[in-house]
């Protein structure tokens, strides 16, 4: 596996842990590479590598999902540097949109010219996980079929991310 | 030996059954190739395959209207209706088979063969009725073969030739019936699918009540598919399937007045690398049991079978169901796309793809279920 392929696999796992959607669902949006590239472009390759190594370390150090969640909260979500990035990754997946980083973060960790609020591409809006989370159609972007609005949502709860021992290939 | 393919109403029913099966058999290959294209890429190829796919659905509906008009119901849920891929097409072309595969130069060649125009009379070296060749390799055809009672099995060179034979059959049988003061259009008119139920799907659906409307419906299929009289554009300026696919091969649009093979319109890009590497003609056995890919492929097949069953009912008098089936179609699209964007766990050089394997043992169980869960089990 090339270094980039490994990094992308780690990015998918991190994204799964942050969004609670499994790799199948994330791959299914067709956006993995686009989001990975977006993240690298804006916060920088070094920061992405640091974040993914931190994630791997947490994964390896965890014996179960509960421990993993605790470490994820303390060392990534609650971290001054990684927290805002992790929250942006969540927003990216749920809305298909990159949100400009907070000013304090920009001042501390770099102000990329590309760090503005934007849709990653024209498909990313329709592929936002929020639509799957509530089983609704992105307005104006996916044909739901006439009258589909009269049907109750049919939310798929079988696509959650799962913690597995680190050495298990997923 | 009669030089007619269709000699009686049973022959006509057989041919129209084969027509519906034929239109449907093109849908899995077109659908899979379409969804194999990376999002945001190959805009022209995506639009082309999508336009053709949607018109095949119209053709299936038109064929069903003709069959209903001459007094027989379509059978979309019969075992074997969905072919096992790769498959020969039921009108019997002998020189190619059709696969479930990604969008590629080879796939494009197959699509061109599916939609190819009829040979001009001069080229055809036919030994049987117009537009056909006597067929010897019948065992290669698992689908409903064309079997006129009084003649050997025939294969057609093009789908247009096949429909021309149906048109001749209708004219012949209706003329015979009229002589007796009767008609072959004995079907219940309330079974016709009208534009009230079939909307924005590749053209206007034609309700069939008599010879005139039947011939209109069948001519529309021929025109949209291979074009009329080897023309690139029809009278309404719509380009036929064959020439749509040729544009992808030449990477250039046709303009009015162009000669076949020499488009002079705007050029565009086709990038065969921006495609998910679907395993050709995938089967459930190719996917590790317990994997997400297996579960999703299994759920897709289940939902597809349910979808066909709904359409079947719609063709048998419950036209209202078509409106709901449209929602089901969008779900199928989402599920197929998800599957295609995921690598096969034990064989990551390939991605998953819908297998279109139907399970007829469970058919009675499925038809009882009101609502199929969309979730992968």
Domain boundaries, chain A: 3-150
- Yes or no: say if B315 and B347 are a contact pair by the CB < 8 Å rule: no
Structure tokens at B94: 């002998």
Q: Are residues B264 and B333 in the same domain?
A: no
Nearest to B326 among A27, A121, A146 (CB): A146
Tell me if A151 and B327 make a contact (CB, 8 A cut-off). Answer: yes
Q: Are residues B165 and B265 in the same domain?
A: yes
Q: Are residues B287 and B196 in the same domain?
A: no
Tell me if A28 and B338 make a contact (CB, 8 A cut-off). Answer: yes
**Axis crossing angle, helix B105-114 with helix B9-36, rounded to the nearest 10:** 160
Tell me if A146 and B199 make a contact (CB, 8 A cut-off). Answer: yes
Q: Are residues B165 and B286 in the same domain?
A: no
pLDDT tens for the 377 residues of chain B, in order: 456 778 899 989 988 998 999 999 999 999 999 999 998 899 999 999 999 999 999 999 999 999 999 999 999 999 889 999 999 888 777 788 999 999 999 999 999 999 988 875 444 444 556 666 655 555 554 444 455 444 456 678 888 888 998 999 999 999 999 999 999 999 999 999 998 887 766 678 999 999 999 999 999 999 888 776 678 888 778 899 999 999 999 999 999 989 999 999 999 999 999 999 999 999 999 999 999 999 999 999 999 999 999 999 999 999 988 888 888 888 898 899 999 999 999 888 999 999 999 987 754 444 433 333 333 33
Q: Is A13 on the interface with B (CB under 8 A)?
A: no
> 10 Å Cβ neighbour count for B143?
20
DSSP-derived 3-state class of residue A33: helix
Q: Are residues B376 and B262 in the same domain?
A: no
Q: Are residues B105 and B213 in the same domain?
A: yes
Q: Is B40 on the interface with A (CB under 8 A)?
A: yes
Q: Is B292 on the interface with A (CB under 8 A)?
A: yes
Which residues of chain A make contact with B343, given a CB cutoff of 8 A? 27
Nearest to B376 among A145, A146, A158 (CB): A158
Nearest to B323 among A29, A143, A147 (CB): A147
Q: Are residues B214 and B70 in the same domain?
A: yes
Instruction: Using the 3D structure, point to which of B275, B298, B323 is the last residue of a domain.
Output: B275
Q: Is B329 on the interface with A (CB under 8 A)?
A: yes
Per-residue b or e along B218-247, where b marks 16 or more CB atoms closer than 10 Å to that residue's CB: bbbbbbbbbbbeeebbeeeeebbbbbbbbb
Which residue range forms the structural domain that includes residue B65?
A: 9-275
- Yes or no: say if B372 and B363 are a contact pair by the CB < 8 Å rule: no
Q: Are residues B195 and B324 in the same domain?
A: no
Q: Is residue B368 part of a domain?
A: yes
ipTM exceeding cut-off 0.90 for this assembly: no
Q: Is residue B3 part of a domain?
A: no
The Cα B269–Cα A123 span in angstroms is 19
Q: Are residues B253 and B282 in the same domain?
A: no
Q: Is A145 on the interface with B (CB under 8 A)?
A: yes
Tell me if B323 and A154 make a contact (CB, 8 A cut-off). Answer: no
The CA-CA-CA angle for residues B144, B145, B146, to 5°, reads 125
Q: Evaluate the CA torsion angle B324, B327, B333, B335 in order and state its sign.
A: negative
Residue B132, φ and ψ in degrees, nearest 5: -130, 165
Full-model pTM: 0.88
CATH of the domain at B69: 1.20.1260.10
Instruction: Using the 3D structure, point to which of B250, B275, B300 is the last residue of a domain.
Output: B275
Report the number of distinct structural domains present in chain B.
2
For chain B positions 181-240, those within 8 Å of chain A (CB to CB) are: 199
Q: Is residue B2 part of a domain?
A: no
Instruction: Using the 3D structure, point to which of B226, B248, B275 is the last residue of a domain.
Output: B275
Q: Are residues B217 and B269 in the same domain?
A: yes
Q: Are residues B220 and B330 in the same domain?
A: no
Q: Are residues B269 and B350 in the same domain?
A: no
- Give, for A98, the enclosing helix (H) or strand (E): strand A97-98
Distance from CA of A39 to the nearest CA of B (A): 19
């Amino acid at each position: 596996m090339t270094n980039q392929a490994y990094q992308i696999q780690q990015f998918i796992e991190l994204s799964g842990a942050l969004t609670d959607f499994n790799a199948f669902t994330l791959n299914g949006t067709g956006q993995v590479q686009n989001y990975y590239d977006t993240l690298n472009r804006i916060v920088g390759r070094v920061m992405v590598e640091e974040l993914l190594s931190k994630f791997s370390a947490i994964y390896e150090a965890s014996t179960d999902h509960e421990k993993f969640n605790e470490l994820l909260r303390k060392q990534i979500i609650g971290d001054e540097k990684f927290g805002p990035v992790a929250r942006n990754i969540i927003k990216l997946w749920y809305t298909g949109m990159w949100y400009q980083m907070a000013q304090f973060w920009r001042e501390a960790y770099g102000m990329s010219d590309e760090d503005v609020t934007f849709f990653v591409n024209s498909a990313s809006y329709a592929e936002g996980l929020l639509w799957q989370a509530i089983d609704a159609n992105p307005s104006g972007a996916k044909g739901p079929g006439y009258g589909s609005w009269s049907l109750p949502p049919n939310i798929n709860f079988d696509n959650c991310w799962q913690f597995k021992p680190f050495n298990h290939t997923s | 030996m009669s030089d007619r393919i269709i000699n009686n109403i049973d022959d006509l029913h057989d041919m129209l059954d084969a027509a519906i099966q034929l239109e449907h058999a093109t849908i899995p290959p077109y659908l899979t190739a379409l969804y194999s294209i990376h999002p945001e890429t190959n805009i022209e190829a995506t639009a082309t395959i999508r336009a053709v796919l949607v018109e095949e659905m119209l053709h299936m509906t038109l064929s069903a209207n003709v069959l209903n008009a001459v007094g027989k119901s379509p059978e979309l849920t019969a075992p074997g209706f969905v072919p096992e891929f790769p498959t020969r097409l039921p009108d019997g072309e002998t020189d190619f088979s059709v696969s479930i595969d990604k969008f590629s130069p080879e796939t494009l060649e197959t699509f061109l063969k599916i939609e190819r125009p009829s040979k001009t009379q001069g080229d055809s070296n036919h030994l049987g009725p117009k537009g056909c060749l006597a067929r010897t390799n019948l065992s290669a055809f698992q689908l409903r073969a064309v079997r006129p009672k009084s003649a050997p099995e025939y294969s057609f060179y093009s789908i247009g030739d096949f429909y021309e034979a149906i048109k001749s059959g209708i004219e012949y049988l209706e003329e015979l019936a009229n002589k007796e003061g009767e008609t072959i259009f004995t079907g219940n008119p309330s079974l016709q699918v009208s534009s009230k139920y079939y909307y924005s799907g590749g053209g206007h659906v034609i309700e069939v009540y008599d010879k005139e409307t039947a011939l209109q419906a069948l001519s529309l299929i021929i025109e949209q598919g291979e074009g009329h009289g080897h023309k690139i554009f029809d009278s309404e300026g719509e380009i036929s399937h064959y020439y749509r696919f040729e544009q992808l091969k030449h990477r250039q649009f046709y303009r009015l007045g162009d000669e076949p093979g020499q488009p002079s319109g705007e050029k565009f890009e086709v990038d065969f690398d921006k495609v998910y590497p679907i395993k050709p003609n995938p089967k459930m056995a190719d996917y590790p049991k317990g994997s997400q890919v297996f579960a999703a492929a299994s759920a897709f097949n289940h939902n597809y079978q349910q979808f066909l069953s709904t359409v079947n009912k719609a063709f048998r008098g419950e036209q209202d169901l078509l409106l709901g089936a449209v929602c089901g179609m969008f779900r199928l699209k989402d599920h197929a796309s998800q599957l295609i964007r995921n690598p096969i766990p034990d064989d990551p050089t390939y991605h998953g793809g819908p297998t279109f394997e139907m399970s007829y043992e469970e058919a009675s169980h499925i038809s009882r279920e009101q609502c199929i869960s969309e979730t992968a089990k």
